[in-house]
Amino acid sequence: MTKRDLVVRIADETGLIQQDVYAVIQKSLDYIIEALNKGDTIEFRNFGVFEVKTRKQRIGRNPNKPTQVVTIPQRKVVKFKPGKIMKKLITGI
């Protein structure tokens, strides 16, 4: 599902104008990105949690030249942990 598919579906179900739905979705995503950029955790009950974690520096190898060692620098990554209800619906557990 793309953002466009989501906009069309919500607009059809609610009777709102697609441009208004798009604006709300885009603004929501912008605020989520802004909060993650500040290092905040985003939690949606029964959906999941987005948080920024720091990956440690590590050693990598070129698969074409296994003897060549490459240092992969420390970096920040966004992690997602699904909520109970989502996990139950997706996995059946």
| Per-residue model confidence (pLDDT) at position 65 | 85
Q: Where are the domains of the chain?
A: 1-40, 47-93
Q: Which of 77, 41, 74 is nearest to 58 (CA)?
A: 74
Q: Classify domain 47-93 at the CATH topology level.
A: HU Protein; Chain A (4.10.520)
C-alpha–C-alpha distance, residues 82 and 70, integer Å? 33
pTM as predicted: 0.78
Q: 15-62 pLDDT, tens per residue?
A: 999 999 999 999 999 999 999 999 999 999 989 999 999 999 999 988
| Per-residue model confidence (pLDDT) at position 32 | 96
Structure tokens belonging to residue 21: 């739905």
66 pLDDT higher than 90: no
| Per-residue model confidence (pLDDT) at position 62 | 83
